[in-house]
């Protein structure tokens, strides 16, 4: 179980780094900038979570995450220069990354005796903040605000996770269901363009 | 005294969440985004203060702040949809929030033996950073930079606070005077459009 | 040696504060905003480094840095109002600041037993983040992304630093060589407009 979680975490970091490269690639940014955006995108959410929890930052604890992010980022750079990728190709692993980061973040917060509701928020932070920082660096209104269900998908999943744990379901089972909820909601939102109502004050 | 400070802190958080909703409402942002901006606006300043002071983040220590921010944010959403609020309605509680956050932040820093000058800056951070993050998320030049006296009002108040404490005045008295200074300067600045000279390099 | 490092650190903070004033001066920002941008520019990189390393923030540990930043910022305000400065005047001390911050940041991380590769990144963070935050506050695409070699110069220098230390070179010698690499690369990049290839995804 632990080893599986570890492999999942590494994969999520790599995938997020790749999405950072795709985003940065639309701007007049040089190669170093691309690497910086990739690292921010991949490690930002978990870093903010660890700072808030006063926990040693995960990629300083274990630099494997760092290498995974840089390797995946450079691979994405090479890939994008060689073949024209369909934009949608990354939506599936991105949704997977969101699901993994969110539930993992909630799990870590709960292990540190954080109130369950705050823990669900820290899970959302883990899943979402990397992308928000990425978009802020690129000087855009963060995608999480204007696109199809994203943060909402993440939060729904973590609330399901907390509810299942509260009902006595085993951790691995609850995590699996919660990840499925996040991934399923996000994929459905992309497929059928489901959005929350946009809120504009009069 | 402690209970009064607690009630004041909760109120300031609630008010700041509402100002976040008003700001986010001018952008094409969905409901989840509005909640996120409300939370950032309400909790951002205190969170950065606690990180800098290497102190447990206040809304993880006591989730009541979290519930106050979310409740107030949702109430603001409902309110804005029902009635057309005059924009100025929120200026008074916002100035109150600035006064409370700023003096409270300085107080906390001084209790942790921070140099008095650094403590006044941490107070300003507590009062101002939530709004700065809110404006950065919404991709605008932070209001604190271009509007009527804001950060200056906060800093003046904390300097008065530190000076009174240095002169031997009791904490509660000094805090009251300092909050009055912040609130009064900010209200006067709004009323008579007082600004610091805008600085433009040639 | 220690005293020299300290003097270097103070100078770097002062210089970075001045560059912040120059940047902020191009925007319609009031005097308080200028001070805020100067402080962010001067202290931002080291602050993020200390937060990531779970170390007491350097300007709370020793407020001299704070006074240096504010003093230099105000001096820059006065200077800019009196004489028309050539824009290039600040490029040399800015490059010096980048060199000093970057190597100093790597040095501190290595002393705390961080993996050498992560330490080089923390050095880059120390050197670069202040400017990134400054540009984000001023709502511009961070200069580090679009200009001549900047982050790349810093990273090259820290990698040389780590390699020399790994080869058994004494710390002061390795630091001197590394700072020269950062400073030289950055100056050469400015002089001959050397850029990394801009990466734009097709």
Could you tell me if B112 lies within 8 Å of chain C, comparing CB atoms? Answer: no
Distance CA B98, CA B112 (A): 21
Residues of chain C in contact with residue A75, where contact means CB-CB under 8 angstroms, are none
What is the ipTM for the molecules in this complex? 0.81
C interface test, pick of A28, A29, A43 with most C CB neighbours within 10 Å: A29
Question: What pTM did the predictor assign?
Answer: 0.86
- For B168-183, the DSSP string reads T--HHHHHHHHHHHHH
Residues of chain C numbered 134-153 and touching chain B (CB < 8 Å): 136-139
Query: B42 near B23, Cβ under 8 Å?
Result: no
Is residue B186 in some structural domain?
yes
Nearest to A63 among C115, C144, C155 (CB): C115
Q: Mind listing the pLDDT tens digit for each residue in A64-84?
A: 999 999 999 888 888 877 776
Number of domains within chain B: 1
Here the tokens at position B28 are 């094409």
Could you tell me if B77 lies within 8 Å of chain A, comparing CB atoms? Answer: yes
Q: Which residue of C has its CA nearest to A20?
A: C201
Which residues of chain C carry a pLDDT beneath 50?
202
Torsion of CA A24, A26, A30, A33, to 10 degrees: -10
| C-alpha dist (Å) from residue A11 to A37, A61, A167, B99 | 18, 17, 30, 46
What per-residue string of b and e applies to B159-184 under the rule 16 or more CB within 10 Å gives b? bbbbebbeeeeeeeebbebbbebbbe
Q: Given pLDDT bands bounded at 50, 70 and 90, which one contains residue A202?
A: very low
Is residue B197 in some structural domain?
no
Q: Is the CA virtual torsion A46, A47, A52, A58 positive or negative?
A: positive
- Under an 8 A CB cutoff, do A121 and B22 touch? no
Q: Mind listing the pLDDT tens digit for each residue in B146-158?
A: 567 788 899 999 9
Residue A176 predicted with pLDDT over 80: yes
Could you tell me if C88 lies within 8 Å of chain A, comparing CB atoms? Answer: no
Query: C189 near A24, Cβ under 8 Å?
Result: no
CA nearest neighbour of C35 among B180, B91, B192, B128: B128
Is residue A200 in some structural domain?
no
Torsion of CA C150, C156, C157, C161, to 10 degrees: 160
Is residue C186 in some structural domain?
yes
Kindly report the number of other CB atoms within 10 A of residue A99's CB atom.
27
Could you tell me if C115 lies within 8 Å of chain A, comparing CB atoms? Answer: yes
Q: Mind listing the pLDDT tens digit for each residue in B81-101?
A: 777 666 666 677 778 888 989
Is residue C42 in some structural domain?
yes
CA A202 to chain centroid: 33
- Under an 8 A CB cutoff, do C63 and B117 touch? yes
Query: B99 near B183, Cβ under 8 Å?
Result: yes
- Under an 8 A CB cutoff, do B26 and A200 touch? yes
Here the tokens at position B18 are 């509402």
CA C61 to chain centroid: 20
CA distance between the termini of chain A: 51
Is residue C197 in some structural domain?
no
Q: Mind listing the pLDDT tens digit for each residue in C48-102?
A: 999 999 998 999 999 999 999 999 988 888 887 777 666 666 677 778 888 989 9
Distance CA B69, CA B15 (A): 8
Is residue C198 in some structural domain?
no
Q: What is the pLDDT of residue A136?
A: 72
- Under an 8 A CB cutoff, do A29 and C197 touch? no
Distance CA B94, CA B16 (A): 7
B interface test, pick of C36, C57, C81 with most B CB neighbours within 10 Å: C36
Distance CA A67, CA A188 (A): 32
Helix (H) or strand (E) holding C198: strand C198-199
Residues forming a β-bridge with A198: B30
Is residue A71 in some structural domain?
yes
- Under an 8 A CB cutoff, do C137 and B142 touch? yes
Query: C126 near C45, Cβ under 8 Å?
Result: yes
A184 burial level (CB within 10 Å; 0-12, 13-18, 19+): middle
What is the 3 state secondary structure string of C24-83?
A: HCCCCEEHHHHHHHHHHHHHHHHHHHHHHCCCCCHHHHCCHHHHHHHHHHHHHHHHHHHC
| C-alpha dist (Å) from residue B14 to A34, B79, C142 | 39, 14, 33
Residues of chain B in contact with residue C134, where contact means CB-CB under 8 angstroms, are none
Q: Which domain holds residue B124?
A: 2-192
The chains in contact with chain A, meaning 3 or more Cβ pairs closer than 8 Å, are: B, C
Q: Given pLDDT bands bounded at 50, 70 and 90, which one contains residue B160?
A: very high
φ and ψ of B170, to 5 deg: -65, 150
- Under an 8 A CB cutoff, do B200 and C26 touch? yes
């Amino acid at each position: 179980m632990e080893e599986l979680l570890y492999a999942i975490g590494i994969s999520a970091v790599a995938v997020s780094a790749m999405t950072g490269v795709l985003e940065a690639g639309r701007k007049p940014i040089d190669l170093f900038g691309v690497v910086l955006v990739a690292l921010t995108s991949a490690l930002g959410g978990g870093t903010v979570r660890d700072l808030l929890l006063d926990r040693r930052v995960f990629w300083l604890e274990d630099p494997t995450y760092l290498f995974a992010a840089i390797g995946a980022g450079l691979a994405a750079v090479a890939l994008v220069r060689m073949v024209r990728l369909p934009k949608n190709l990354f939506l599936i692993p991105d949704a997977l990354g969101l699901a993994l980061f969110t539930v993992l973040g909630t799990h870590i917060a709960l292990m540190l005796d954080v109130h369950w509701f705050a823990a669900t928020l820290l899970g959302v932070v883990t899943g979402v903040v990397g992308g928000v920082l990425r978009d802020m660096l690129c000087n855009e209104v963060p995608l999480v605000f204007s696109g199809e269900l994203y943060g909402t998908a993440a939060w729904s999943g973590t609330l399901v996770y907390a509810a299942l744990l509260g009902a006595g379901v085993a951790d691995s089972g609850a995590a699996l269901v919660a990840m499925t909820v996040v991934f399923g909601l996000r994929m459905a939102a992309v497929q059928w363009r489901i959005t929350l109502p946009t809120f504009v004050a009069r």
